[in-house]
Structure 1
Amino acid sequence: MLSDAASAFVAGEPDTCRSILSDYVKATMGFEELARRLDMTSSSIKRMLGPKGNPKRLR
C-alpha cells in the first residue's frame, strides 16, 4: 500500500497519494495513534491527507 502511495506521488498524482495514505492510516494505527506519535492533532492529520490537504506541512 505504501509503495502505491509513493508511485502515485512520483507520478504526479497527489490526490491519489493522499487518499492511499489516508486509507493506510485508517487500516493500521488510526489517526488518533498517529497524531499521538507525531505530537499533532488527529484533525490536522486528517486535513493534510484530505482532498485539499498538504502533506508537506509536517513540522
Structure 2
Amino acid sequence: MSLTRDFKETIKARADADASFRAALLSEAVDLLLNGEVDAGKLVIRDYINATVGFDDLAEEIGKPPKSLMRMFSAKGNPTADNLFAVLRHLQQATGVHLAVAVA
C-alpha cells in the first residue's frame, strides 16, 4: 500500500496545526535520548527540526552550517553535548515548547 502524502509533509502539517503534537514530538525525542535510544532520538529531533524551524534557520541561529546539523541528527551523526543542548535550547525558544526534568 502506498502513502498518499509524504511523511515529512504530514508531520509538518500536524506540527503547524497542533501545539500538543509539537510538544509530544520533542518530548519523545528527549525521552528516547535519555533511555539510551540515541539513534532514534536523533531522528525524531531531525523530524522535529524539519517540521518546525527548518535546518537553515536553525543553523543561522546557532552558528553552525546546515549540512553539519543534518549530519549531527542523522542515524550515524554524533552531536557534541554543546551542540545538542544549543539545538534543544533554540527549538524550545522558537517553537514555544518548553521541557522540564522530573524525577520518576
Superposition TM-score, scaled by structure 2 size: 0.54
Displaced runs of 4+ in structure 1, greater than 3 A? Answer: none
Percentage of identical aligned residues: 36
Match of 2:28, SS? helix
Q: Which runs of 5+ in 1 are unaligned?
A: none
Which residue is equivalent to 2:38? 14
Superposed CA deviations along residues 4-43 of structure 1, whole A, max 9, x for unmatched, are 0111011100011001000000000100000000111000
- For the pair shown, the structure with the greater C-alpha radius of gyration is 2
Which residue is equivalent to 1:30? 54
Which residue is equivalent to 2:67? 43
Superposition TM-score, scaled by structure 1 size: 0.91
**Structure 1 CA distance, aligned partners of 2:52 and 2:33?**
20
| Structure ranking higher on relative contact order (CA contacts 8 Å, 6+ apart) | 1
The Cα RMSD (Å) is: 1.4
